[in-house]
């Protein structure tokens, strides 16, 4: 049931494509009362989450190879600001591909993460003489020792996991869950869309 302003009995609106949503959602895609974490807070969260993920992954790999528990921390202190780059790089990309299937989003994230790995690794190698995660000689899938193509699935999963962190910190609707579109059109436009249907 749609009333003359294009709003249903439950407070939903209908646009010209037939998509419905609640007028209570704001223009940032957040429900009322949800406040986002600040930029510095989010950058720190990405840095800590990335360091934790790296420690878990490396510790698991080393422990399996040694047959005993081998805890390991991040490969370098440089990793914290590098993981913090998720704020200016990952968040905008996540918002751009939010409506895409998971496999497409994962492919975008894996490509982006490996690209950042190559660029930052090359810069660190030029500045300090070494890359903290030098893969040279470890596998035939490495590119100049700066990234590993066989790690693409892991980076894709890491990106998909980071989506939930981003959404939790900004109060956005999770990927795959349709949220309401803000009611920015005048009542007349919504009425015309409703009548046209």
Let me know whether 73 and 159 are in one domain: yes
pTM here is 0.69
Which has more pLDDT, 120 or 63? Answer: 120
Let me know whether 27 and 98 are in one domain: no
Tokens found for residue 173: 């609707």
DSSP run (H or E) holding 143? strand 142-143
Let me know whether 95 and 65 are in one domain: yes
Residue 40 in any domain: the answer is: yes
Burial class (CB in 10 A: 0-12, 13-18, 19+), 7: buried
Residue 187 in any domain: the answer is: no
Which has more pLDDT, 7 or 53? Answer: 53
Let me know whether 140 and 110 are in one domain: yes
pLDDT tens across 127-159, in order?
999 998 989 888 899 999 999 999 999 999 999
* C-alpha to C-alpha distance for 21 and 17, rounded to whole angstroms: 12
Residue 187 has pLDDT above 50, yes or no: no
What's the angle, vertex CA 120, arms to CA 119 and CA 125, rounded to 5?
100
Determine the average pLDDT of the residues in 52-74.
83
Residue 26 in any domain: the answer is: yes
pLDDT band, very low/low/confident/very high, at 58 (cuts 50, 70, 90): confident
Let me know whether 104 and 117 are in one domain: yes
Number of domains in the chain: 2
* C-alpha to C-alpha distance for 109 and 86, rounded to whole angstroms: 11
pLDDT band, very low/low/confident/very high, at 161 (cuts 50, 70, 90): very high
Question: Which domain covers residue 14, as residue numbers?
Answer: 1-34
Let me know whether 42 and 105 are in one domain: yes
Residue 116 in any domain: the answer is: yes
């Amino acid at each position: 049931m749609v009333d003359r302003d294009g709003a249903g009995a439950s407070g939903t609106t209908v646009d010209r494509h037939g998509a419905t949503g609640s007028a209570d959602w704001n223009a940032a895609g957040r429900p009322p009362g949800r406040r986002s974490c600040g930029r510095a807070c989010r950058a720190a969260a990405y840095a800590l989450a990335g360091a934790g993920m790296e420690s878990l992954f490396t510790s698991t790999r080393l422990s399996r190879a040694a047959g005993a528990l081998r805890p390991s921390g991040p490969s370098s202190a440089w990793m914290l600001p590098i993981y913090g780059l998720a704020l200016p790089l990952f968040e905008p990309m996540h918002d751009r591909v939010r409506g895409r299937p998971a496999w497409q989003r994962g492919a975008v994230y894996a490509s982006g993460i490996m690209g950042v790995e190559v660029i930052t690794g090359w810069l660190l190698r030029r500045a300090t003489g070494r890359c903290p995660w030098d893969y040279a000689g470890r596998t035939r899938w490495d590119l100049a020792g700066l990234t590993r193509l066989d790690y693409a699935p892991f980076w894709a999963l890491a990106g998909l996991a980071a989506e939930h962190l981003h959404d939790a910190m900004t109060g956005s609707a999770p990927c795959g869950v349709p949220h309401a579109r803000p009611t920015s059109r005048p009542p007349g436009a919504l009425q015309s869309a409703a009548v046209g249907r």
